Amino acid sequence: MRNANSIRRGLSAFCAAMLCTVAAGFPAKAEVQEVRIGRQPGLPFLPLMIMEHDHLVEKHAAAAGMPGLKATYITLAGPSQLNDAMLGGRLDMFGNGMPSLFTLWDRTVGTPREVKGLWSLQSMPLYLVTRNDSVKSIKDFTEKDKIAVPAVKVSVHAMVLQMAAAKEWGQENFAKLDPLTISRTHPDATVALISNSGDVSSHFASSPYYYYELATPGIHKVLTSYEVLGHPHTNGVMIAMTSFVTANPKAVAIVRAAQEEANAFIKANPRAAAEIYLAMNNDKATVDDLTKMVADPEVEYTTVPAGAMDFATFMYRIGAIKHEPKAWTNMFHATAADLPGN
């Protein structure tokens, strides 16, 4: 538990500063007593799982003088379902990919239903893997190949595939591989790929699914999202409507403080974090295997957004969003203003 005391002191100071900052500009009034938080399956959402397992929102709420505040966590299969749940009033905030955030921001900016990012969930690569021996690069895909992504066109996986196509064949051909993509949840795509059944021959996967797939004979890596962008990037961000953030500044600050504590816990205790993940999911991996995944040096559980402008600029250039982003902060609430994002 090295540095545990310093971590606790830092988190306490962070929470106090956040609460003072957000409270200064708003009149005193009752905030929500429940925060509904959405997530997807998989290790990208491990901080939210730690928050639920250890009741961290409730812990920080009690310390901040809001003992009645509780968090409810809802797991949905993919980006589209999460977007619809928030726009339908069933979620207050949720974790999703950068493209989903920027699509929602573009459609709602300046309206009463405006949507922006809160902060990052982590920086984590995506792996494009295949069981087709003939595919060594994206140039080798043919119309016979089917590439599973969580949601065609709108998921971060689909967007990175478009970025790879633009890099290979020119920006005007960014959609060259889109006809090969099909929407599948990560668990379903992994089962189909490993069992060599169904119409899935390739999968653009998040962690831990690409670990399972690459451990299977006959499946190999084609590329990673870090290779496409040329640097690490955020895989998931927390998202909320401006109306919710404005009405509930203390609750929002409490959730971020809870996630900061979860991030520190994962870094200091990867094995314990892996045990929590296994207790809350149906994965068949061993604790040893999951610990290696959690502690993978390519992965950083952090609230700092990375690569936001790479995604937003690309989406604007291909016409996926109409509003040109001038800075990453345009698409994030003031809750991320203190973070050194890009």
Residue 224's domain spans which residues?
A: 127-229
Structure tokens at 273: 């974090």
The answer to whether residue 3 scores a pLDDT higher than 80 is no
The pLDDT tens digits for 197-222 are 888 999 999 989 999 999 999 999 99
Domain match, 110 and 252 both: yes
For residue 115, list its beta bridge partners: 241
CA–CA distance, 54 with 62 (Å, rounded to integer): 14
Domain match, 175 and 319 both: no
Final residue of a domain: which of 197, 214, 229? 229
Q: How many domains does the chain have?
A: 2
* % of the chain residues with pLDDT over 70: 92
- Say if residues 239 and 93 touch (Cβ distance below 8 Å): yes
pLDDT attached to residue 5: 45
Mean pLDDT, range 320-331, rounded to an integer? 95
- Say if residues 53 and 279 touch (Cβ distance below 8 Å): yes
CA–CA distance, 68 with 254 (Å, rounded to integer): 12
Final residue of a domain: which of 210, 229, 248? 229
Q: Look-up: residue for tokens 């999951």?
A: 290
Q: Within a 10 A sphere around the Cβ of 176, how many other Cβ atoms?
A: 18
The answer to whether residue 87 scores a pLDDT higher than 90 is no
Q: pTM of the prediction?
A: 0.85
pLDDT attached to residue 19: 44
Q: Look-up: residue for tokens 């921001």?
A: 105
The per-residue DSSP string of 22-71 comes to HHHTS------SEEEEEE-SSGGGHHHHHHHHTTHHHHHHHHTT-TT-EE
Give 169: exposed, middle or buried? Use CB within 10 Å, 0-12, 13-18, 19+.
Answer: middle
Q: Which CATH number fits the domain that encloses residue 323?
A: 3.40.190.10
Domain match, 10 and 132 both: no
Q: How many residues does the chain have?
A: 342
Mean pLDDT of the chain: 90
CA–CA distance, 39 with 183 (Å, rounded to integer): 18
Domain match, 88 and 22 both: yes
For residue 127, list its beta bridge partners: 205, 224
Helices (H), 68-183: 79-87, 98-108, 156-169
Q: Within a 10 A sphere around the Cβ of 280, how many other Cβ atoms?
A: 16
Domain match, 131 and 119 both: no
The answer to whether residue 320 scores a pLDDT higher than 80 is yes
pLDDT attached to residue 29: 60
Domain match, 86 and 109 both: yes
Mean pLDDT, range 292-312, rounded to an integer? 96
pLDDT attached to residue 8: 43
The answer to whether residue 332 scores a pLDDT higher than 70 is yes
Q: Within a 10 A sphere around the Cβ of 34, how many other Cβ atoms?
A: 13
The answer to whether residue 124 scores a pLDDT higher than 90 is yes
